[in-house]
């Protein structure tokens, strides 16, 4: 496998451009045309080699299991597997040198499609099974100038294991030189997973009604909206259905981003932990996924990966000019 940093470009019928690198299969730019001016709506580094030491998961594929796993362990058929710890006693986004920080292999690259793959050996960071991850990026647009970035994950393993990757881009529909404050956020979720001081779910799936986490009606984001929380779109798992998670509108009301997937939940992170060379609130992450710590919470909507049934995940970021 190559350890040379390579950038690929995808274009669609609207002449939007998306850039992806083979390190972490990371999305680095999404350039669209607004009022005949180019606007980059995805936060990234100017120097691609800065991604090799990036601590923020910018545009990365996060996993094998996205988000946090309590005590860096998982339960499979009443057996406990100890995982690599990288956030105190817990694991975040698959541990050290996980999918976000490895070079992926090129399968093929076309004008509007890119396929990348990586194989993790049995026991890597504690996860059982030799596991193959494939991500297919596809970039299209229609006659109504809706641009869709489709992300399809296909994961296979030779043992029963845990997987649940996601994409971790930081969006800023006003352009990356601006704050995301002033964006308008609407979520389809009626429930969320309350967390403890380590951002680990308590095990409850609680209604958002009458809480600060109620975004069923659109709300303008400001400094008081510091979100790093998981919002549940369905309490019963159904990976056969693509559902709406989020709608984000730019402060100038010129762009709207819809986020859809077959996952049951979405993590919303307002980028308030970003540091130099970026600023707090420079981007917002909208990450469809299983709920954090699902393998350790039987009541959460979740399924393990088995050798007989691959896991297929579909994520769509659909951009519309208003």
* Separation of alpha carbons 127 and 117, rounded Å: 18
Q: What are 182's two structure tokens?
A: 């002033």
Among candidate residues 117, 100, 86, 92, the one with its CA nearest the CA of residue 54: 100
- Where are any strands of DSSP class E within 70-187? 73-76, 79-82, 91-92, 105-109, 113-120, 131-141, 146-157, 166-168, 170-171, 184-187
295 in helix, strand or coil?
helix
126 in helix, strand or coil?
helix
165 burial via Cβ count (<10 Å: 0-12, 13-18, 19+)? buried
Would you state the pLDDT for residue 158?
A: 98
Q: What's 42's DSSP letter? A: B
Q: Quote the pTM value.
A: 0.97
pLDDT in tens, the chain (322 residues): 568 999 999 999 889 999 999 999 999 999 999 998 999 999 999 999 999 999 999 999 999 999 999 999 999 998 999 999 999 999 999 999 999 999 999 999 999 999 999 999 999 999 999 999 999 999 998 767 789 999 999 999 999 999 999 999 999 999 988 899 999 999 999 999 999 999 999 999 999 999 999 999 999 999 888 999 999 999 999 999 999 999 999 999 999 999 999 999 999 999 999 999 999 999 999 999 999 999 999 999 999 999 999 999 999 999 999 9
Would you state the pLDDT for residue 108?
A: 98
* Separation of alpha carbons 228 and 219, rounded Å: 16
Q: Write the CB contacts of 310 (distance below 8 Å, at least 6 apart in sequence).
A: 154, 155, 156
Q: What are 74's two structure tokens?
A: 């998982």
**Residue recorded with tokens 């596991």:** 131
283 in helix, strand or coil?
coil
Would you state the pLDDT for residue 1?
A: 58
Per 3-state DSSP, the chain is made up of helix, strand and coil in percentages (nearest 5) of 5, 45, 50
Q: What's 70's DSSP letter? A: G
Q: What are 315's two structure tokens?
A: 């994520």
Backbone angles phi, psi at 296, to 5 degrees: -105, 10
Backbone angles phi, psi at 239, to 5 degrees: -75, -5
25 in helix, strand or coil?
coil
Domains of the chain: 7-321 (2.70.98.10)
Q: What are 112's two structure tokens?
A: 């509007």
């Amino acid at each position: 496998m190559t350890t040379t940093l390579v950038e690929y470009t995808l274009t669609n019928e609207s002449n939007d451009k998306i850039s992806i690198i083979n390190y972490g299969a990371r999305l680095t730019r999404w350039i669209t045309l607004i009022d005949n001016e180019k606007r980059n709506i995805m936060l990234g580094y100017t120097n691609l080699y800065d991604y090799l030491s990036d601590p923020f998961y910018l545009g990365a594929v996060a996993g094998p299991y996205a988000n946090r796993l309590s005590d860096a362990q998982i339960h499979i058929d009443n057996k406990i597997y100890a995982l690599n710890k990288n956030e105190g006693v817990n694991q975040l986004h698959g541990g050290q040198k996980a999918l976000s920080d490895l070079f992926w292999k090129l399968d093929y690259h076309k004008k509007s499609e890119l396929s990348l793959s990586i194989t993790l050996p049995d026991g890597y960071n504690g996860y059982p099974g030799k596991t193959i991850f494939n991500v297919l990026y596809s970039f299209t647009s229609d006659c109504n100038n809706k641009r869709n970035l489709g992300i399809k994950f296909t994961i296979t393993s030779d043992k029963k294991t845990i997987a649940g990757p996601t994409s971790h881009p930081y969006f800023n529909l006003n352009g990356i030189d601006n704050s995301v404050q002033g964006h308008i956020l609407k979520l389809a979720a009626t429930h969320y997973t309350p967390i403890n001081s380590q951002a680990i779910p308590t095990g409850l799936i609680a209604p958002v009604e009458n809480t600060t986490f109620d975004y069923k009606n659109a709300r303008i984001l400001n400094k008081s909206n510091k979100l790093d929380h998981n919002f549940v779109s369905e309490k019963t798992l159904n990976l056969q259905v693509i559902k709406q998670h989020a709608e984000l509108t730019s402060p100038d009301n010129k762009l709207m981003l819809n986020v859809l997937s077959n996952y049951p939940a979405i993590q919303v992170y307002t980028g308030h932990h970003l540091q130099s060379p970026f600023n707090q609130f420079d981007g917002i992450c909208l990450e469809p996924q299983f709920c954090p710590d699902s393998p350790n919470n039987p009541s959460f909507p979740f399924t393990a990966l088995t050798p007989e049934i691959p896991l297929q995940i579909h994520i769509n970021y659909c951009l519309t000019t208003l």
